[in-house]
Amino acid sequence: MARQFFVGGNFKMNGDIKKIKEIVQHLNEAKLDDNVEVVISPPTLYLLLAREHLRSGLEVAAQNVFDKPDGAFTGEISVKQLQDSGITWTILGHSERRVILQEQDIFVASKTKAALDGGLGVILCCGESLEEREQNKTIEVVTRQLKAVADKISDWSKVVIAYEPIWAIGTGKVATTEQAQEVHAAIREWLKKEVSSEAAEKTRILYGGSVTEKNSGELAKQPDIDGFLVGGASLKPAFVEIINSKSA
C-alpha cells in the first residue's frame, strides 16, 4: 500500500495575527491535492487562531510539547492542552531546539513517548551538521537520534520522520536529490532492521532543508521521500505548489 504524501509547514517564530489569517485563508481557498496530508505549525500563541480558521481536513501542529502532563513547568505546553485545543500534531527534535536549546536525544525521545501516549501525531526531526556530513557520519548521527526514540516506543504508526540536514536549513542550500534519497533509504533500512518491516514500509519519511517550489517536484519523485517539512517557504503562497508537487 502506498504511503500517503505528507507536507508540513513549520512557521517557526514568524508571523502575526494578520499573517497567520492570510496564510490560512490562502490554504482554505487553494485547490490542494486530496491525496496529500497537510499540517501547518504556527507559533504557540497562534495555534488556536489557526485551528479555528483552517478548514476541515487540514491539521495544525505545535512546534513543541513537554513530557509531563501538567505542573510547575513555566513556559511549557502539555499534550492534554494541545488536544483540548484541537491540535493533533507536534514537531519534536528539530535541530534548532537540539542545537540552540541543547535538547538531548533522550529528552526528545521522552517527549515523543508522551505525545504518542497522549494521542498526538509526532513529526520527529533528525539530521546532521555540515561537519558531521563531511566526516561521513550522517547515517550514524541520524540513526543515533532515532534509536533514542526506538528505545522508548514500539508503535511508530503515528510518527512521521523528517530528515533535515542542519547545513541545509534556512541556508538556501539543499541536499541533492541523490543525497536526500540516500539518507531516506538508509533510514528506512534502519527501521526495517531495528523496528520492523511493517514500520519500514508504512512510516513516512519527509525531507526538510530549504525546500521550495523549485526543487520539490524532483525530490517528490524519489521512492523513499514521502513529503516535506517546509520552513520559510510555508509562509509564502508557493507553499501550495509544494503541497501539490507530487501530482504536478
Catalytic residue among 59, 103, 164, 213: 164
Q: At what angle do helices 177-194 and 138-150 cross, to 10 degrees?
A: 40
Distance of alpha carbon 172 from alpha carbon 148, whole angstroms: 30
Catalytic residue among 37, 59, 94, 96: 94
Told to judge if 59 belongs to the known catalytic residues of this protein, a careful annotator would answer no
Distances (CA, A) of 221 to 173, 180, 181, 189, 226: 19, 12, 10, 19, 9
Told to judge if 22 belongs to the known catalytic residues of this protein, a careful annotator would answer no
Distance of alpha carbon 216 from alpha carbon 104, whole angstroms: 30
Distances (CA, A) of 183 to 126, 161, 164, 180, 218: 11, 12, 10, 5, 16
Query: Annotated active-site positions, please?
Result: 94, 164
